[in-house]
A and B are shown apart, each in its own frame.
Chain A
């Protein structure tokens, strides 16, 4: 006979195998950054008749935040941008745009229409990223809701059901039903020790039933939640057949499916109408004239009085003497630029690893997904291309841009390929979901962030142990880089945050540095 497990033990077991404990840990890791509640509360001193010169190295979102805020207060700002465009990893691709990937330069050949764009970097704004949202509001950047999870999109795994793609809703409804049945069994056993009052137990059980749509016997026997096999409007709906639990367990994609609405993608997500770089142009409407393009920084020397910056532009070396410097050049590139930073700073700069995220997109000749009841959202597959995003925008128009690959962790697989190999890999992967995908798409673009000129990496990776989180040493290195050099030079960008790869982190790192500098300027002028 199997030893009965007490209810307390069962719950402890759940917690230990990734329930509560994992949730708590994830909560800490994914929680909003401290101070995220301080939206638009930046209270910088206006210089009045005083003068201060500022150099901002890099025209990404953090640099532009600094330029915008300081210009408002009368600072004389110069933004040095190494590439031909501002925005950094906030990059929207449209007709004719250059993709400056070293070794794989491309021009985007999408049709020239407002909805035919691809957000090749930042693509989603959670409603809790209130500092970024405050700028969207202030800069008149129109927003629309972004559809992230879509129950009509597909899940495909060669290991599951012979590789036949099934709808997200079939996967999640059945998976939840079986999970609920297991939980209900644990709650229903008389032999179990009760950590709950009768009323608590009843409440919990009712939630478990609801979670999985269990029948009166607390068993899962399929659910109308997955939609109908037929009928449903003018005739009674016919319930779909259940998919066996064992079959679903052949795939590990449940990790994506069950967590789609948690963490950073839990809040309502948004995107600017017309492309993520509308935020960049919103800033540039105010500070555009301060930006020098194709200006590569060659030296950053911190002195007692300020910072001397040298840069190359049009084959000429220029110099710039400023009072304060805000630097969002990726740390791995800054190592190779002349500087006089202290050695602990250099150690920290060398520690940060380069992100490897990779994305690709295709122009669809027609919006074939809408014929399949799919409007926005993501299909997941157990292929190297991983994700297929259907555009939220441009509904019912003739064409659209689909994301054909997004590998945030292991992007080197595709990055190492030639352009032709990358495209073929994505076509072959997505044919498993949409059999005629190859014929339905054209004009591909691919972006290996690890090789994009002037960046050579996606978001900074501080932690070497992704599963275990930051070590004490890593936190020390991080605080070293966050602190200004001699009170004059500040590193900014999402690289100076504990939650890289989000625009909110870049904005907040700039705001932190601005507040710090502001306190110094107030003291100087007092």
Chain B
């Protein structure tokens, strides 16, 4: 190649190429000519679905993020991103969440910090059930989630009190039906799936959620 050129000219050309080629390669990746005028975007889009200050939106089945522990929120975002959660065809809301969690580690860290800055207000109560019956059923739950349902980081169990009750019902139903917590890489989910055996029907789920509703939040 280029044998018609004298050797030192070829050498100069080669040195020039080694300097220019990486620059050209980068230019191809970044369309810098108009990158400056392009509309920017960021990943703080959570409140579109999760509502004002992340208080949840039943209209789009997006749960409350405000008040969620940072470690739990991070783990769930990572699980959605990895396909460990929202994988079952019957988990429609989980499937809807998965593409939203195509986030970098930096974005996840930013979102977790952002969510932590939101004003917290107790969730609206929408579920009715037998609180006394629910209290008995909650006994199993208390082992990990605490007597007051405020969660236990050491156990990896999030707070339940203060979450949208309709979301708790959906998730308990998903665990019971096997739509959540059966993925081989979802260690905590599997732990939870093993614990829902006492919730034998829909009314049991409603009762236990009604009991959680009766507990003080935060």
Contact = CB atoms under 8 A, between A and B. Distances in A.
A293 to B, nearest CB: 10
Contacts of A249: none
B57 A335 contact: yes
A456 interface: yes
Interface in B77-96: 95
Contact of A336 (B41, B60, B100): B60
Contact of A105 (B41, B57, B62): B41
B122 interface: no
Interface string B40-78: 010001011111110111111010000000000000000
A103 B100 contact: yes
A332 B37 contact: no
A104 interface: yes
A107 interface: yes
A103 B107 CA distance: 13
Interface string B88-118: 0000000100111110000000000000000
Interface string A89-129: 00000001110101111010000000000000000000000
A336 B50 CA distance: 7
B58 A335 contact: yes
B48 A453 contact: yes
Given A298-B53, A333-B48, A451-B99, A107 B58 contact: no
B59 A102 contact: no
Contacts of A296: 47-48
A366 interface: no
Given A102-B99, A332-B59, A336-B57, A96 B50 contact: no
A338 B52 contact: yes
Contacts of B60: 332-333, 335-336, 354, 456
A352 to B, nearest CB: 8
A280 B51 CA distance: 27
Nearest to B39: A98
Interface string A334-351: 111110000000000110
B184 interface: no
Contacts of B51: 335-337
Contacts of B56: 336
A361 to B, nearest CB: 19
A349 B102 contact: no
A96 B53 contact: no
Instruction: Classify chain A's interface size.
Output: 20 to 34
Given A333-B59, A334-B59, A336-B60, A107 B38 contact: yes
B41 A98 contact: yes
Contacts of B8: none
Judged by DSSP, the binding face of B is: helix
B34 interface: yes
Interface in A401-457: 416, 451, 453-454, 456
A385 interface: no
B52 A298 contact: yes
A468 interface: no
Contacts of A298: 47, 52-53
A331 interface: yes
Nearest to A337: B52
A299 interface: yes
A335 B99 contact: no
Contacts of B62: 336
Contacts of A104: 99, 102
Nearest to A332: B59
A296 B51 CA distance: 10
Interface in B11-54: 34, 37-39, 41, 45, 47-53
Contacts of B100: 102-103, 451
Given A102-B99, A451-B99, A335 B59 contact: yes
Contacts of A246: none
A84 interface: yes
A98 B38 contact: yes
Interface centre among B48, B50, B55 (most CB of A within 10 A): B48
A299 B59 contact: no
Contact of A97 (B39, B57, B101, B102): B39
Interface string A67-84: 000000000000000101
A96 B38 CA distance: 6
A243 to B, nearest CB: 40
Contacts of B57: 332-333, 335-336
B199 to A, nearest CB: 26
A354 B93 CA distance: 13
A332 B57 CA distance: 8
A299 B119 CA distance: 13
Contact of B52 (A84, A299, A332): A299
Contacts of B39: 84-85, 97-98
Contact of B37 (A96, A102, A349): A96
Nearest to B99: A103
Interface centre among A97, A298, A334 (most CB of B within 10 A): A298
Interface in B96-147: 98-102
Contacts of A350: 58-59
Interface string A34-47: 00000000000000
A315 to B, nearest CB: 9
A470 to B, nearest CB: 20
Interface string A215-240: 00000000000000000000000000
B59 A336 contact: yes
A368 B92 CA distance: 41
Nearest to A418: B99
A445 B34 CA distance: 18
B70 to A, nearest CB: 20
Contacts of A335: 51, 57-60
Contacts of A96: 34, 37-38
Nearest to B49: A456
20 contacts: A84-B41, A97-B39, A102-B99, A103-B100, A104-B99, A107-B38, A296-B47, A298-B47, A332-B59, A333-B60, A335-B58, A335-B59, A335-B60, A336-B57, A336-B59, A337-B51, A350-B59, A453-B45, A454-B48, A456-B60
Given A335-B57, A354-B60, A456-B48, 18 more contacts: A82-B48, A84-B41, A96-B34, A96-B37, A96-B38, A102-B48, A102-B100, A103-B99, A103-B100, A298-B47, A298-B53, A334-B59, A336-B47, A336-B50, A336-B62, A337-B51, A416-B95, A451-B99
Interface of A: 82, 84-85, 96-98, 100, 102-105, 107, 296, 298-299, 331-338, 349-350, 354, 416, 451, 453-454, 456
Which 4 residue pairs are nearest across A and B when measured between Cβ atoms? A336-B57, A336-B51, A335-B59, A103-B99
